[in-house]
Structure 1
């Protein structure tokens, strides 16, 4: 099988911006990206808080069954924003570890033991160019490495975003759904190939209304893939208030949980 879209995502200009930022930290000192206390990297208190959450099902009434590892509290907001928009590449292993926990819980809850393909929700090409790397694809690759000692996991950048999608910031649930209708499609050609017998798990950093994961689920299933569910690092609605998932299978009878990043 052919890997979908090689994950060589970093764009030179953006990569250099991130490297310059890292060099500045080394020269000028740094602060914890979670609490802004002086120090190097994530402080022990913030790391403990990040690792203190257990994945849970979050339901928005739309989209696939989704597990999120953490609530999108101020700590997660700081970490996700620093990683995605400010070149804090050193946070990727921490966030990917939380994503792997959510994926593992989804697989355990569904009882699935076969091959799995992680499909990151795509960002707009302009956003990837601006940042210099594909933040969600990076988390997917690192999470897959964490999962491989036990599970057969690959990563495919199966989905691409069509032109004409507005920035989701500030949009409500209805506006997000309308904005994203038909916004994603599967790549054409051999890049659509998935391992035989594999199921797809959609992955994203944060889910808010669930519109993005619902659209991603539509595009994946339209391409003929079998969708098991979705996993995210964090949920805008606290997943600890939701009941645990009994199954990772998507069902038209049971409203699916979605914690997606848009």
Structure 2
């Protein structure tokens, strides 16, 4: 059993709903076995049900995109692919042309070692669902932490164009989703935020019931919150390996391999991390 000290979740990671669901099912079972009050058992069960609903919504969205694609979506996808490839190529040229020790080379190096460390094809060849998520992370990171580097390399106009192409791509993806009467990306994000908030509620409820550093409280707290701590550990290991970049993946329940484009099965269980 993973021991959970009082301050375990002062710093935690945003996990995919499948991982929260994995932890919540085990937390619910542990809570029932050790006779926790209905408020704690019910809170864990709410997380389980919310994660199942997220799985169903994601399944609808992903399958709809695969079966019926509007030509405008494909066109915006191709435009985004070309623009992203050109942007990365220009940054690589900065490093080659000016050298790694020059201000422009250093700026380019920071971007290539940071949000742009992934191979271009791993972004452009991803499914549209995953490309939308990955590109959003990359652009947000560049805008938040590398504006000066972009300016140093003189690539403001190209970055603005890339943001425009991405916005068009996202708009076309949303139109496609609405036409297929499936959940939108915004709806998935909203549910993910609700799941995150419910997990925080469960942590607070359990910490309130077991507030001390005593052995008895440690055991009770760890039994219910241990599964969440395990997933937090796995997230930390993933981001350490990937230099705090990338999207924490789901896990194939059979092979234990990371999967970037999971299609949930028709049973009532979301994929379980190994």
Q: TM-score, normalised by structure 1?
A: 0.25
Give the greater-gyration-radius structure (CA): 2
Q: TM-score, normalised by structure 2?
A: 0.24
Greater fraction strand:
1
Kindly indicate whether structure 1 or structure 2 has the higher relative contact order, using CA contacts under 8 Å at least 6 residues apart: 2
